[in-house]
Amino acid sequence: MKRPRTIKVDLVPVTAPAGELADELGLPAKKKGAPRLLVGRREWIGLPEFGVSPLDAKTDSGARSSCLHAEEIVLSPDGRRVNFVTLNHYGDRISCEAAVVGSTKVRSSSGVARRRVFIETEAVLPGGFRWRIRLTLADRSRMKCPVLLGRRALAGFFLIDPQASHLFGGVRELLRDIPGNRTA
């Protein structure tokens, strides 16, 4: 039997929170054509382990890795931890510390390759959907969105609708799903 070359997607509005729906669908999906959540070209995201939210994240299937805006990036002498400052949607400066899970050369959209460290953290979308992502740290102050979600963070969970934004909900829904949210 031949594999179908085209997959039809029927949009079904669901009232269940995103976290419950993801559990019901058994995400992350391992096979092609399995059910996924529909995500817009931009979504609100929170990083509760750093106390940082809300952040406007751009989904980018053309980027392999994901990135978080960071300033004042300082590696520990042994290279196992990194300290940095990031900004939430309101412009509040938030100092963060994380374990370094790796480093590699990353080529930016301008074509310049630089060595960047990777950190890993939990990400949250409005509706309570939570998953682990790896992020590089870079100065994204000239970009509209401080977070870029690349293919590795999206794979197995999402399909992207490039005509829509913030499909999971607004800032209020996100802040409800992050207990002890810190904004400064």
**2 is a domain residue:** no
82: domain CATH number? 2.40.70.10
Are the C-beta atoms of residues 130 and 123 closer than 8 Å to each other?
yes
Please say if the pLDDT value at position 181 is more than 60: no
Domain membership of residue 65 (yes or no) is yes
Please state the domain count of the chain.
Answer: 1
- 141: number of CA atoms within 13 Å, CB side? 9
Please check whether residue 158 is in contact with residue 48, taking contact to mean a CB–CB distance below 8 angstroms. Answer: no
Q: Is residue 5 part of a domain?
A: no
Average pLDDT, integer, range 173-179: 82
Domain assignment present for 29: yes
Nearest CA to 73 out of 107, 110, 98 is that of 98
Quick one: pLDDT at residue 182? Answer: 47
Asked whether residue 15 is assigned to any structural domain, the reply reads no
CA distances for 162 relative to 31, 40, 83, 158, 167, angstroms: 23, 6, 34, 12, 11
Would you say residue 163 lies in a domain? yes
Short-list 72, 134, 71, 151, CA closest to 100: 134
Find out whether the peptide bond into 54 is cis, omega within 30 degrees of 0.
yes
Give burial (CB, 10 Å; 0-12/13-18/19+) of 124.
buried
**Is the pLDDT reported for residue 123 higher than 90?**
yes
Query: What pTM was computed for the model?
Result: 0.87
Amino acid at residue number 79: G
Q: Does the residue 52 lie in any domain?
A: yes
Enclosing domain of residue 66: 25-176
pLDDT at 1: 61
